[in-house]
Structure 1
């Protein structure tokens, strides 16, 4: 059903797509699909267990379809509910042994290319990995170096440290002396290298002691998300100190049914629209306790000048969203003010994936903003720092690439102008351009359907939001 929806979208959505301008303040409620990060972690953990797991609210997008395709190639059964395609039952292979002598296609999905290769440690033969042409530029060497330390062999079929490659499982796992295997990786360019190794480490006899060797550690909330999910599945992973993780050998098994939270990072363009267009945008089912980096959004939007409430209660900037009980899920409402405040300097190292949305808001602010701590975004779907600078300047604003971020200097609205904007096969660059289009007439977006990576029907949701206004 997901692929049929993709085909229908490709048939009806123009390329380039004219980004709609907001003609009135918004008064919209937007329901956000499930979290890609949680969906793909649950799929991996379900595959590593011994019993079937029913995942409800699973994001159905290109990335999650690629993940299920990868698991099927390894002998895992992923069965959709016939009445509800966002409910999928995952059945691990018999005896926990994955199928080797197979091929995995990663597309441009970082979670597939970084989370699935460690599963080959438990396969009965080599597995070849390939992906989209753009994926060949994404770094892989730290993860593969970690697998080599665990005994795997890696053969490159192109540039060293990049797709395509083949992973061959080791003859023996663990030290055999009761001591955890020591693994050292430099995860400066992506937290996914750590997460991918942690997800598989519980099945290593004697456990694993994993150490990050780089000078920076981006997206720590994503690693904490991985740790929490592993522990929910019966694992035992701790972080005795920053950049060091101890994983005890444990049999993993998610509960029989798990439910995926909404993708809070995908809420960023919609909630940011309230600041850009004015009015209010509401997102239901916002979790009071979450490991998602998008949980930092309310405090950022508040600093930009928005009024933020959760089920009508004022947002507390000091306590963020932790002012509520853990089991509380409510409606987050963001109301724009008369103008957008520039933020000066903002460290986004904990939530780099929302940087494009934050950059769109900052481009339309009344004073400069520097987004720092995001140098690792150069290794995402595209070099997001260079792409953001190029596209901000394309519409008449000013931006500069920094060593670890970007500096944005807004200009008067009448100095901004429409343009045909590139998406770079990057879903977040496409939503960034759509946000600018709310205020700037004449913006068109190339390949807007790249948003299917995490939002199956972004253009439909965006248009529906604009139809709801005061």
Structure 2
């Protein structure tokens, strides 16, 4: 678990309380879901405020490979018009490159079900370690043929779509264990309305990670005119057959999980940080962030100015440990919360995040490694990570690894706010979701 990139960035330290407003780009989760739904439709869709990062570029390039047009507006790089194939069939006999993007490698294979030939999928070498089998097993249950070119259940592989069947009245029942990632469920739900008779998806595992992400998928399907319902008590989702069509124009919310390093900085250093365009309500797991920061001792308000709603987080540098803390609903912000809790006054056991071992890297192992590297105390739990306070002065600078994981890079930058001498290897990995993280970070610090 090392990062071979040799670019080293000195993370800035500050002794001054912050007073900053930081504008966060569009949500990656929503951007890539909207791109998929637009591609499944029948009419062009204009996406406004789309995140432009490595993950969304990989998604658009994947769609282009399958015959979908993604046209960037000449006046605004964050406005993209998506035009689906005229006949509703995607281009086959082609190869999709997924990079290290989980939403690409787990959402796009479903589109191959409706291609006119086999589609090969490949990605970054590090992507070969990311689990894929549940979503591919689901597609196999729907009639696709999966040929693995490496390890069973992982990239690279080829999907041969099923022979079109006559319309049926009952839904296809698919059973998978999605304990490793909510994206397995989302990837199948997104294509459910195109399956003859619709889809009934049953999750066979005991726990469903990041349920808010699945709720986001269901809400986005409903926003595209799809009849989708969830019975979360028994882990069953149903999607009825029908046409997918987003509105003619859709605006993407800011990525609330990407706001976590910036709002968390107010707790670490003291002072205030404001993020504009914070939604009144949201399906993003990052919407839980303000409540978590309040539990850590922050003052959180939502002022409005000129019709813009802000999330304002203020702190005094004192941070409360949380004891036993179930983060099942929002595991993607665990690295940012871990960075804050390194400076807390009491221990915290973050649980419900065992599935982070299968993200861009094994995030639990990586967090323990890097917290220990700067003199902190942490160890893995069966389903999470334990972080303990250390004596004042015990923390020290170090060269921190990012493991090609954008959230490990922002985690390291957060530690550098209070620990002098922190340097970050391959901070450019943040381009996955924040194309100008370094500029945003230094801008926040004035």
* TM-score calculated relative to the size of structure 1: 0.92
Check 1:36–1:207 CA distance in 2 against 1; reply closer, same or farther (3 A cut).
Answer: same
- Structure 2 CA distance for aligned equivalents of residues 188 and 103 of structure 1: 28
Determine whether 1:189 maps to 2:180: yes
Counterparts of 1:439-454 in structure 2, within 5 Å, are: 439-454=418-433
- Structure 1 CA distance for aligned equivalents of residues 191 and 317 of structure 2: 49
> Alignment partner for residue 389 of structure 1, among 358, 365, 368?
368
- Structure 2 CA distance for aligned equivalents of residues 330 and 212 of structure 1: 37
1:70-114, Cα deviation, whole Å (9 max, x unpaired): 000000000000111100000000111000000000000000000
The match for 2:443 is: 464
- Structure 2 CA distance for aligned equivalents of residues 282 and 14 of structure 1: 33
Counterparts of 1:96-115 in structure 2, within 5 Å, are: 96-115=88-107
> Alignment partner for residue 387 of structure 2, among 408, 416, 421?
408
- Structure 2 CA distance for aligned equivalents of residues 42 and 239 of structure 1: 20
- Structure 2 CA distance for aligned equivalents of residues 375 and 36 of structure 1: 22
- Verify the 8 A CA contact 2:267 2:314 in the aligned structure 1: yes
TM-superposed CA distance for 1:413, in Å, is 3.2
- Verify the 8 A CA contact 1:307 1:334 in the aligned structure 2: yes
> Alignment partner for residue 63 of structure 1, among 42, 55, 60?
55
- Verify the 8 A CA contact 2:269 2:316 in the aligned structure 1: no
The match for 1:317 is: none
- Structure 2 CA distance for aligned equivalents of residues 436 and 366 of structure 1: 16
> Alignment partner for residue 85 of structure 2, among 82, 87, 93?
93
1:2-53, Cα deviation, whole Å (9 max, x unpaired): xxxxxxxxxxx99210000012000000000000000000000000000000
What's the secondary structure of 1:117's corresponding residue? Answer: helix
- Structure 2 CA distance for aligned equivalents of residues 433 and 109 of structure 1: 21
1:127-147, Cα deviation, whole Å (9 max, x unpaired): 000000000000000000000
Counterparts of 1:163-182 in structure 2, within 5 Å, are: 163-173=155-165, 176-182=167-173
Counterparts of 1:430-445 in structure 2, within 5 Å, are: 430-445=409-424
What's the secondary structure of 1:94's corresponding residue? Answer: coil
- Verify the 8 A CA contact 2:168 2:196 in the aligned structure 1: no
> Alignment partner for residue 204 of structure 1, among 187, 192, 195?
195
What's the secondary structure of 1:194's corresponding residue? Answer: helix
- Structure 1 CA distance for aligned equivalents of residues 126 and 340 of structure 2: 27
> Alignment partner for residue 341 of structure 2, among 362, 384, 393?
362
The match for 1:50 is: 42
* TM-score calculated relative to the size of structure 2: 0.97
- Structure 2 CA distance for aligned equivalents of residues 333 and 14 of structure 1: 36
TM-superposed CA distance for 1:412, in Å, is 2.3
- Verify the 8 A CA contact 1:346 1:370 in the aligned structure 2: yes
C-alpha RMSD of the superposition = 1.3
- Verify the 8 A CA contact 2:268 2:317 in the aligned structure 1: no
The match for 1:417 is: 396
The match for 2:226 is: 235
- Structure 2 CA distance for aligned equivalents of residues 156 and 454 of structure 1: 29
Runs of 4+ in 1 over 4 A off after TM superposition: none
- Structure 2 CA distance for aligned equivalents of residues 425 and 83 of structure 1: 32
- Structure 1 CA distance for aligned equivalents of residues 317 and 83 of structure 2: 52
- Structure 2 CA distance for aligned equivalents of residues 333 and 24 of structure 1: 18
The match for 2:151 is: 159
- Structure 1 CA distance for aligned equivalents of residues 403 and 308 of structure 2: 35
Determine whether 1:148 maps to 2:140: yes
Counterparts of 1:297-336 in structure 2, within 5 Å, are: 297-311=289-303, 330-336=309-315
Counterparts of 1:67-82 in structure 2, within 5 Å, are: 67-82=59-74
Count of aligned positions: 440
